[in-house]
Amino acid sequence: MLNRVKLLAAAVSVSVCAIAATPASATTVFFSGFETPIADTNNNGWDVINPLFEGWAVTAGPGIEVQKGNIGGANPYAGNQKIELDSDFAPDSNSAMAQSVNLAAGTYEFSFAYLGRTGDVNTNGIGYSIDTGVLADTLVTGVRSDGWEIISHIFTLDTAQTITMNFWASGTDDTRGGYLDNVQISAVPLPPAVLLFGAALGGLGWLGRRRKKAALTA
C-alpha cells in the first residue's frame, strides 16, 4: 500500500510540473475580421452590405455597415476595416446579423472586439448570443473614450453541433452605434499534463488490480 501511495504522489508531482511548464494553446476554428474589400458605392469610405458579408447574413435592418480606416473618429481594432450595426439609411437603422459554424465536441472560447462610437452610452449598445442554449442574450455598452475592449466567453459542447452566432444593435436607433471587429472562436484543448495525470491514475488502477489478483491466487 505504501509503495502505491508513493507512486501516486510521484504521478501527481510529474503532472503538476508538466502543467506549469506546458501551457495549452488555443486553435482558431472561426475568424471574421471584416477585411473583405467593399465596393464603397458612396465614396465616403464605408458601405452598407446586404444580404451577406464574410458569411454573415443580415437578419434585421438595412444591413451591415462596413467602414474603412478612421470613420466615425475611430480606427479598426485590427486591419483596415470594422463594422457598425446601427447602420446608415435611417429611420430604421438598427441591424442584426448571424452566422452558423459547425463545431466538434469540446471546449471553446468565443470572443470579439467592441468599441462605443460616441460619448453616449445609450446609443452604443451591441447585443449578442449563441444558439442553441450556448450563450443567452447579452448586452455590451461603452463609450469611445474607453477604447477597444475584448469580450470573451468560454463554452463547452458535449456533442458535435452547429451553433449560430448573433449580433444586433441595441442602442438608440440613430445611425451612431457600437463598433465590432475580430469575431473569433478558438478550440481550447486540455493541457498535456491533464492527459498525463489521467494516464498515471489509470496505470495505478491497473497495478492495484494486478496485485489484488496476485494476492487471491497466492
Does 178 map to a domain?
yes
Domain of residue 165: give its range: 27-187
pLDDT tens digits along 166-176 = 999 999 999 99
Does 12 map to a domain?
no
Q: At 43, is the pLDDT very low, low, confident or very high (cuts 50, 70, 90)?
A: confident
Lowest-confidence segment of 136-140, 143-147, 203-207 by average pLDDT = 203-207
- What is the pTM assigned to this prediction? 0.79
Number of domain units in the chain: 1
| DSSP characters over 25-76 | --EEEEEE---S----TTSSSEEEE-SEETTEEEEESS-EEEEESSBTTB--
Evaluate whether 28 touches 183 at the Cβ level (below 8 Å): no
Does 20 map to a domain?
no
Instruction: Please name the helix (run of DSSP H) or strand (run of DSSP E) that holds residue 14, with its range, or none.
Output: helix 2-21
We report the CATH number of the domain holding residue 157 as: 2.60.120.200
pLDDT tens digits along 107-127 = 999 999 999 999 999 999 999
Name the 3-class secondary structure at 113. strand
HSE-up of 83 (CA within 13 Å, CB side)? 31
